[in-house]
Chain A
């Protein structure tokens, strides 16, 4: 059974600081996704990482994927309050019946304090 583990689960940080969220997974996969969820809202896609060494950046967020280590990181640079949200990573299970299913980590709740 595929396991996706994120750490930390809770992160409180000061504005302007840098930090990294880690996502480990237990089976071979070269597809990893990051989503953001604001309180009481739905999930929105942030990044799609489709190969070993893939790196994507959007504003103060940068995601990377190391498929050999089965590890993805989400790096936050110079955090601002607007980044406060819960961040999920999700991994594809290899296709069955012509489709794939995503298994999500438990999420990292990020709070950025002024």
Chain B
């Protein structure tokens, strides 16, 4: 298995532009998580899905952020409009819920810079 695949790996954009981050979870995993990592705030959970259904989006900072999981093999995190304070590394992770342990496999991350 290729693991959790994220794209793009790096994105530089200007304030006000729309940003879409993509994630392909591990085949067979039924839970998907979006985290954001910054020096100041550490690793924050933004939203997670179980069986493609959003379970908890309380970590989404504001309405500018949205996430979708249209099927078991694809998820997107969208920021519109983007702001400089959104600059961070965004990680997608997946796991198999029901195995007795919730061990997350992380993607390589998408480093977002908003100018």
Contacts and interface: CB of A to CB of B under 8 A. Distances in A.
A96 B55 contact: yes
Contacts of B102: 31, 33, 92, 99-100, 102
A50 interface: yes
Interface stretch (A19-27, A41-49, A68-76, A77-85): A41-49
Interface string B71-115: 000000000000000000001010001001111111111000000
Interface in A40-65: 41-45, 48, 50
B33 A102 contact: yes
Report, as a range, how many residues of chain B touch the other chain. Answer: 20 to 34
Contacts, number: 64
Contacts of B45: 101-104
Contacts of B97: 98-100
Q: Which of A50, A99, A106 lies at the interface centre, i.e. has the most chain B CB atoms within 10 A of its CB?
A: A99
B45 to A, nearest CB: 6
Interface residues of A, number: 24
Given A31-B101, A92-B102, A99-B48, A43 B91 contact: yes
B104 A102 contact: yes
Contact of B103 (A42, A48, A88): A48
A88 B43 contact: yes
A103 B93 CA distance: 13
A80 to B, nearest CB: 24
10 nearest A-B residue pairs (beta carbon): A99-B50, A106-B42, A104-B43, A42-B106, A97-B55, A43-B106, A99-B97, A100-B102, A48-B101, A99-B31
Interface of B: 31, 33, 35, 42-43, 45, 48, 50-51, 53, 55-56, 91, 93, 97, 100-109
17 contacts: A31-B102, A33-B104, A42-B107, A43-B43, A45-B103, A50-B100, A97-B50, A97-B53, A98-B55, A101-B48, A103-B45, A104-B35, A104-B42, A104-B43, A106-B42, A106-B43, A107-B42
